Amino acid sequence: MTRRRLAVATAMAGVLALTACGANQAPQGAGQATATRGGTLRILSEGQTVNFDPAKSGSLAITSLGLVHRRLTGWLNKPGEQARVVPDLADAGKTDDGGRTWTFTLQDGLKFSDGTPITSADVKWGVQRSFAPAFSGGLGYHKQLLEGGADYRGPFEGAELAGIETPDAKTIRFRLVRPYGDWPWVVSTPAFAPVPHGKGAEPDYSEHPVASGPYQLAKYQKGVEAKLTRNAHWDQKTDQVRAGYPDEIVFQLGQDASVISQRLSADSGDDKTAFGSSFVSAAQLAQVTGNASAKDRIVTSKSGALAYLALNTEKAPLDNPKVREAFQYAVDKTSFQIASAGNAQLAGDIATTLITEGITGREKFDLFPAPPAGDPEKAKKLLAEAGFPNGLENLDFLVSKTNNAPEKAQALQASLQRAGIKTTIRTLDGDAYTEETSNSPVAKFDLTLASWQPDFPSANANIQPLFASSEIGGGGYNLSRYRDAEVDRLIDEAQATVDPDEAGRKWAAIDKRVLKDSPIVPLIYTRNSFLRGSKVANLYIADFPAYPNYLQVGLSS
């Protein structure tokens, strides 16, 4: 159903942390000065562009897009607490038919940056834009759920989407093809930001969007800068998820990662009011730890994306569950940690579940208890029971050339060989890797490395994209090519559950059910570290997601 941008997901495999420096000893943001209103916040970015078109965006609700555009709902996330959905432009939504129809009511007095009222028709128009082929690329959880969505091609030729009704200026109603309990989370994704009705047909709308959030785009130069200034029509009293502290926010684009780290470590001039949008790498961490001041300005996530080894369940001998189970014991997860960050403590905790930390319903369990370094003898025994007493040979281990993936693969290759599993590592550039792992209807590889963090705080977004049979090929992220009719049924049942606690219990059961089949080997829950200047305040990372909440960051006086 959803089509996650593979480049983003695989990038998560390289995330790191600094727990050895005590960054996780206190709540994130501890030790920082209090944020005050005013000043210019700078965000240093490796990217050449920053996208402010909600139809094309995969931005999390707490990052860059949320500074300019509000959505129907938002996220309230704090360290030590599970993220929860809260009202933003509208209330948190109501359903009276078990989750198939959802109704939202907009707040009074909402305005765009041009002073015109924000209406339900503007929200509908924004959602409809996301269906137009010219504006594809954003998160698409809604596209197959809304009635008429499967065949809809956008509003620019006069067609309306049947599944969205706007009976008055404040009411918007969504009719779905099936019950879906996480719809209040879905309407926090970028496509549910309002776009003035009739506008946004031009391909460069990202460079001059009409804002609904606390900031508007005042200047944009690709590869150089995106400057945000205050939106005079944003009302703090209507917005519980955005603090709106800085007067201006400037994205400095096209910055080299090592230069960003050096600048923030030096902490001079304007860089005192900046933070880096990219993860601090292992090499950069090694340098930062030698600088006492910079070391204290590292902010690290408690947990993060699930890094895992995917086993192609469509190819023999990996179509045999007993063979796949052997991999659970063969893998040395400690060696993967070291290959990821040079230190087991820096990389992230060893993973045994599919659902990541900070998600409602997550249960801790370990179906395949083994030492962190693996149990090669147990793996050999399982292979023998499966009919392979001499082990396995010539397995194709495909990895991307990015994010240190070849080195991580080599660490796993060595541990697999100790269990009698011989692999050949094959590397591909990003586009070619994506084509074979995600787009192709038939996959040639046997094994591949990947990583995943949900797009919204629900176990649904942990499990459905990776293990529903609908996500095989065609841009989906079911890299293990796992097909199980019962699991598909259980996923549909959990998705249709409106009560979050009940849904959480169902997702936890699916977590165990899928792992019994061993389509993947969970490796670690990767951590992210970010570096800030000394005047940046309230830069924290909650339990989910493993990114700073841009909407709460400010400067100290």
Quote the number of domains for the chain: 2
Query: Can you tell me whether residue 197 is helix, strand or coil?
Result: coil
- Asked whether the predicted pLDDT for residue 342 surpasses 80, the reply is no
- pLDDT tens per residue, range 517-528: 999 999 999 988
Report yes or no on 221 lying in a domain. Answer: no
- pLDDT tens per residue, range 67-92: 999 999 999 998 888 889 999 999 99
Mean pLDDT within 331-348: 86
Indicate which CATH number applies to the domain containing 407.
3.10.105.10
Report yes or no on 226 lying in a domain. Answer: no
Co-location of 192 and 312 in the same domain: no
Predicted pLDDT at 33: 82
pTM confidence score: 0.89
- pLDDT tens per residue, range 387-407: 999 999 999 999 998 878 999
Which residues are registered as beta bridge partners of 451?
Answer: 307
Helix 459-467 to helix 485-495 angle, to the nearest 10 degrees?
150
The range of the structural domain enclosing residue 416 comes to: 306-318+332-367+383-526
- pLDDT tens per residue, range 148-178: 999 999 999 899 999 999 999 999 999 999 9
* Domain edge (last residue) among 204, 234, 255: 204
- How far is it, in rounded angstroms, from Cα 173 to Cα 421? 54
Nearest to 252 by CA among 220, 218, 205: 220
Name the pairing type of β-strands 84-87 and 73-76.
antiparallel
Listing DSSP states for 481-523 in one string gives ----HHHHHHHHHHHT--SHHHHHHHHHHHHHHHHHH-SEEEE
Report yes or no on 77 lying in a domain. Answer: yes
Q: Output the CA–CA distances (angstroms, integers) from residue 372 to 250, 329, 344, 346, 414, in the order listed.
A: 44, 9, 10, 15, 15
Average pLDDT, the chain: 91
CB-CB contact of 39 with 270 (8 Å)? no
Report yes or no on 227 lying in a domain. Answer: no
Co-location of 346 and 476 in the same domain: yes
Stretch among 63-72, 272-281, 444-453 having the lowest mean pLDDT: 272-281
- pLDDT tens per residue, range 21-38: 233 333 344 568 899 999
- How far is it, in rounded angstroms, from Cα 301 to Cα 548? 9
Report yes or no on 295 lying in a domain. Answer: no
DSSP 212: -
Indicate which CATH number applies to the domain containing 73.
3.40.190.10
H helices present in 447-484, as ranges: 459-467
